[in-house]
Amino acid sequence: MKQVTAIIMAAGRGTRMKSKTTKVLHPVGGKPMLAGVIDSCMAAGINDIVVIVGANRGEVEPFLKNQYQGGNIRTVLQAKQLGTAHAIKSALALKHKFGPVVMLLSGDVPLISPDTIRGLINEFTKEKCGGIICTSKVGNPHGYGRIVTDKKGYIIRIVEENNATDEERAIRLINGGVYVIRTDYLKKYIRQVKPDPVKKEYYLTDLAAIMAEKFIKIRPKIVEYSEVAGINDRVQLQEANVMKNKK
């Protein structure tokens, strides 16, 4: 997939892990979770990979250099932790020739499979839409952003739980945090993301509403929850290892 660039967000220190080791280097299934994401991208045919690092660059960059010697993996520093959209803007500022399609992933979602990545890219190409967002249907959506769709099933916004109405909280379709998007759209509309009025951070999830307002079609792609399960603490780390062992 020479036409696709993967951008992996891995700048968070992960203080909830309560560990001296940065979060994305904790093992799931015997390998650091960041390696799980990278390996799935490579197995799916994506070899142009950009990893966003932060205060953890002193750990992550040596790991990448040692693990992927000669690999086409670049890193970019998100100097200030100002949210996920700010992280992506940091990556796009890199002097790098991005492919016409970008896949956005998180370094703490290690169970996404090569088949799912290939499926997302293939569906994006087939549908000729502006973007696809990986989603999952769960029994208990507590804590996750909810996917709001129109009557045709296209995504019109992603609502975080704290900002959701009672009706929106009842939605069981959650944001999986993996995006496929045309690079030109990403570069254009990421600039329009405004900071959250409370936390003053820029959230990537706001991109869905911005693009929908421009009548750009964004499709949801429903996958198994295990594929998009994020890891923020040691309980979720243990759960991820259990899910990995069941695969």
Catalytic residues: 16
SS3 per residue for the chain: CCCEEEEEECCCCCHHHCCCCCHHHCEECCEEHHHHHHHHHHHCCCCEEEEEECCCHHHHHHHHHHHCCCCCEEEEECCCCCCHHHHHHHHHCCCCCCCCEEEEEECCCCCCCHHHHHHHHHHHHHHCCCEEEEEEECCCCCCCCEEEECCCCCEEEEECHHHCCHHHHCCCEEEEEEEEEEHHHHHHHHHHCCCCCCCCCCCCCHHHHHHHHCCCCEEEEECCHHHHCCCCCHHHHHHHHHHHHHC
Residue 158 to residue 156: CA distance in whole angstroms: 7
Residue 107 to residue 10: CA distance in whole angstroms: 5
Answer whether 236's CB lies under 8 Å from 226's CB: no
Residue 4 to residue 48: CA distance in whole angstroms: 7
